[in-house]
Amino acid sequence: MLARMFTILYQDEHLVAIDKPSGALVHRTATSREGHIVLQGLRDQLGRWVWPVHRLDRATSGVLLLALDPETASALARQFKERSVDKRYLALVRGWPEASGVIDRPVHTGEHRNPEKKKPAVTEYRRLAQVELPVEVDRYPTSRYALVEVHPVTGRYQQIRQHFKKISHPIIGDTTWGNGKHNRFFRERYGIRRLMLHAVRLAFTHPASGDPLAVEAPVDGQWRGLFREFGWEEPEL
C-alpha cells in the first residue's frame, strides 16, 4: 500500500505545517498502532526527522504544526504551554447554541473518564450559521444544527468535544461524546462518516524570526457539500 502524502500548508528550514486528515494518528500509541501515522509518513515524505509540538485527535482534521529540529520544537512547545498560540476550529453541532459563549468546566484527562482526574478547561465559541431541517431525528419534529467557530483557551484531552457535550450541543460525527441518532442521520443522508471538527487556523510567533505567523487549512469537500446543502457561505476567520 502506498504511503499517504500529506498536504503541506507551510514549510521553511525550521518548521512545517500540514493539513492532517481525519483518521490519521499523530504518532503510534499503545492502543492505536494501525493506520496512517503522521510522524512516520511525514518523515518519509520530507526525507528528514520531524518533531511534534502539539496534538490533534485522530478524528480531528486541520492544521498540525511540527518542528524540523529539537530547538524549534522546544520553542514552539513553550508557546503552546504558555497559551500564546491562537487556535481556531470549525465544528458542526447539534442544536443552536447561544450566539457566543464561554464554556468553563473541568474535563476528563484520558480515555478512562476518572472523575477524580478532571482538569480545568476553558473554551470560547461563536455561532456562525444555523439551519433547521424538517426531519424528525430525535424527539422533535424538526432538527436544528449550527456551525460554530471554536477557540480553546486551554488544551486538554478532547476538550472541545467534551465541552460541547456538556452544554448539550455535541459535535456531529463524535462517536465518543456525541449523539448516535444525529450521527446516523448525517451518515445516511449526507455520507458524513467523520468527526465534523476541523482545526482551521493556527497563529503563533515564529521561533527563529520572532515574526507572527498564521497557517490556515481550508475545509474539505464534505464540509463544502454541507455548506451548499444548508445555504451557508464558507466562513472567513
What's this model's pTM, rounded to 2 decimal places? 0.93
Three cell numbers written together for 223: 464540509
Q: Provide the terminal-to-terminal Cα distance of the chain, rounded to the nearest Å.
A: 37
Average pLDDT over residues 177-202: 97
Q: How far is CA 212 from CA 8, 36, 161, 208, in A?
A: 19, 31, 28, 11
Query: Which residues are bridge partners to 151 per DSSP?
Result: 124
Consecutive H or E run containing 125: strand 122-133
Residue 19 banded pLDDT, cuts 50, 70, 90:
very high
Residue 236 banded pLDDT, cuts 50, 70, 90:
confident
Q: How far apart are CA 38 and CA 18, in angstroms?
A: 9
Return the pLDDT at 36: 76
3-class secondary-structure state, position 87: strand
Question: Looking at the chain, how many residues does it have?
Answer: 237
pLDDT for 209 beyond 60: yes
Active site residues: 57
3-class secondary-structure state, position 65: strand
Tell me if 102 sits within 8 A of 124, measured CB to CB.
yes
Q: What is the CA 114 to chain-centroid distance, rounded?
A: 23
Q: What percent of the chain has pLDDT over 90?
A: 87
Average pLDDT over residues 110-136: 89
3-class secondary-structure state, position 169: coil
Return the pLDDT at 1: 37
Q: What is the CA 143 to chain-centroid distance, rounded?
A: 24
Burial readout 94-126 (b: 16 or more C-beta within 10 A, e: otherwise): bbebeeeeebeeebbbeeeeeeeeeeebbbebe
Query: Maximum CA pair distance of the chain?
Result: 56
Mean of pLDDT over the chain: 93
Amino acid letter at 149? E
Query: Which residues are bridge partners to 90 per DSSP?
Result: 149, 198
Return the pLDDT at 92: 98
Three cell numbers written together for 171: 459535535
Three cell numbers written together for 65: 504544526
List the domain boundaries for the chain.
7-230
HSE-CB for 237 with a 13 A CA cutoff: 27
Q: How far apart are CA 90 and CA 235, in angstroms?
A: 9
Average pLDDT over residues 202-211: 97
- Choice between 116 and 171, residue whose per-residue pLDDT is larger: 171
User: Each residue of 70-103: pLDDT tens digit?
Assistant: 999 999 999 999 999 999 999 999 999 999 999 9
Return the pLDDT at 32: 52
Fold exhibited by the domain 7-230: Pseudouridine synthase (3.30.2350)
Return the pLDDT at 30: 53
Return the pLDDT at 137: 96
